[in-house]
Amino acid sequence: MEKQLKKERIGWYFYDFANSVFSTTVISVFLAPYFTSIAENAADSAGNIDLFLFDFFTVPIAAGSFYPLIISISVILQVILLPFIASIADNTKYKKHLLFISAYIGAFSTMGLFFVEGTNYLLGGVLFIIANINFGLSCTIYNSYLNHISTSENINSISSVGWAFGYVGGGILLVLNIIFFDTAEMLGVPTDFAIRICLASAGVWWAIFTLIPLKYLRKIIPKNPLQGKKNIAKQGFTSLIKTIKDAKKYPQTLLFLLAYMLYNDGVQSVIALAALFGTAELGLGIDVMITAILLVQVVAFFGSLFFNVVTKFLSTVSTLKITVFIWILVILFAYFFMYSAFDFYLVCGIVGFVMGGTQALSRSIYSQLIPYGKEAEYFSIYELSEKGTSWLGPLIFALVYNFSSSYRLAIISLIIFFISGFILLFKFNFEKGKQATA
């Protein structure tokens, strides 16, 4: 049994290894500046593009707002879809099936980004939205496996190792893309074409390494699985409504979730928009972006393990508070002092180090605050502010820039999320919340 559990943990680690390339190669490095350039190519003389809401209705937006706006749209759709599908995952024998269906839809949509070129920003937006929704869904179900492969004694370590695997996977592909991107001109490959290859490579990597968890993760069978195709959707919706009502019984869980959604909204916004800030505000090249994100991956690997060690001396919640406070200092430094490539590298190094601890510890704490058998449903709410990025931060960033034309003002606006989450963590009682769901 223990031998099988070790294999399952390895399989679980490797899904982070597989999908983290979407966060690094796609979201953090190449997509923001590339999509912005595509939108600018299609912009009118005022610098605006048309966002088609219906066949007969368009809304003009600044080209620079396109990328953060489609992030917001994708996560708003996650708000609608993830809890419902997660309810089905918790209440049927199809949890593993849903994990890998969503993984491969996301992977193939990412491969489709290869075909986005010229002025075709709408195709890129649709493909990214599909990929990001399925990225979030697969991560929701993946996270829900944590309680099935760990105990309260080793859950911090397993969560931290999972994140570390993700940073390694994202870092390896990023190194390969750096080598390719830096030599593309020598090979006669145009820059735009090289970027499209790098974007598609993330989908290929995601698809290939997902085969490992596909082999080792077991099927999770609920005690009373729903039966019949007609009943699954109906009862899945009913179960979701019941879960939402029952959540009121766990006030500490909801308090932590609110704190997490606030500070992690800031974390994910920084991750998603750092490349855009670096290129548009600081005038840094894509080569700087690539090496900076690689720095984040390397440092984050050690950070996730370091803060796990810190929890041996401080409580998990106290350690998490330290990481959130560091994020507040990072935003202040970015607004007041970040003007050069060196400053950008310094911030990326600090972000990488603290990011690993913030993400690993948050997942570990939350997994111990949810009732048994409802892991995917509760993690679907958690995931709305997780790797798929949250919607409010990018939306505020886009609105501030749209009205001020200042990326520096847009970045300082994110500090409110960290401060709000930090304050709520002081009101949160971990032991009380853990006992309520035991």
User: What are the extents of the domains in the chain?
Assistant: 2-50+59-217+229-436
- The dihedral through the CA atoms of 307, 311, 315, 317 has a sign that is positive
User: Which residues lie below 8 Å from residue 201, measured CB to CB, with a gap of 6+?
Assistant: 21, 25, 173, 176, 177
pLDDT computed for residue 238 by the predictor: 67
pLDDT computed for residue 212 by the predictor: 94
Residue 2: how many CA atoms within 13 Å on its side-chain side? Answer: 1
Instruction: Report CA-CA distances (Å) from 420 to 19, 256, 264.
Output: 30, 12, 11
pLDDT computed for residue 47 by the predictor: 72
pLDDT computed for residue 372 by the predictor: 78
Q: Which two tokens stand for residue 412?
A: 């300082």
pLDDT computed for residue 391 by the predictor: 65
The predicted-structure confidence for 231-253, as pLDDT tens digits, reads as follows: 666 665 666 677 667 777 788 88
pLDDT computed for residue 213 by the predictor: 92
Integer Cα distance of 130 and 114 in angstroms = 15
pLDDT computed for residue 388 by the predictor: 44
Integer Cα distance of 240 and 243 in angstroms = 5
Give 2-17 as a 3 state SS string. Answer: HHHHHHHHHHHHHHHH
Q: At 360, phi and psi to the nearest 5?
A: -65, -45
Residues 135 and 19 sit within 8 Å (Cβ to Cβ): yes
**Alpha carbon distance, N-terminus to C-terminus of the chain:** 24
Class in CATH terms, 2-50+59-217+229-436: mainly alpha
The predicted-structure confidence for 385-404, as pLDDT tens digits, reads as follows: 554 446 678 888 888 888 88
pLDDT computed for residue 76 by the predictor: 80
Q: In this structure, what DSSP letter does residue 219 have? A: P
Q: Which two tokens stand for residue 381?
A: 């709410």
pLDDT computed for residue 282 by the predictor: 87
pLDDT computed for residue 389 by the predictor: 46
- The dihedral through the CA atoms of 149, 425, 80, 390 has a sign that is negative
pLDDT computed for residue 431 by the predictor: 87
> Which one, of 61, 21, 386, 384, lies nearest residue 201 by Cα?
21
Integer Cα distance of 162 and 143 in angstroms = 10
User: Which residues lie below 8 Å from residue 176, measured CB to CB, with a gap of 6+?
Assistant: 201
For 45, the enclosing helix (H) or strand (E) is: none
> Which one, of 246, 136, 243, lies nearest residue 235 by Cα?
243
Integer Cα distance of 407 and 385 in angstroms = 22
Integer Cα distance of 5 and 325 in angstroms = 36
Q: In this structure, what DSSP letter does residue 27 have? A: I
Instruction: Report CA-CA distances (Å) from 114 to 31, 176, 183, 213.
Output: 11, 17, 19, 26
pLDDT computed for residue 438 by the predictor: 60
Instruction: Spell out the per-residue pLDDT of the chain, length 438, in tens.
Output: 566 778 888 999 999 999 999 988 898 778 888 888 888 887 777 777 776 655 556 777 777 778 878 887 887 888 778 878 887 887 778 888 899 999 999 999 999 999 998 888 889 989 999 999 999 889 888 888 887 888 777 788 888 888 888 889 988 998 898 889 889 889 999 989 999 999 999 999 999 999 999 989 888 776 666 555 556 666 656 666 776 677 777 888 889 988 998 898 888 888 778 878 888 888 888 778 778 878 888 888 888 889 888 988 888 899 999 999 999 999 999 899 889 999 999 999 999 899 888 988 998 899 888 887 777 777 877 776 554 446 678 888 888 888 887 888 888 989 999 999 999 999 999 888 887 776
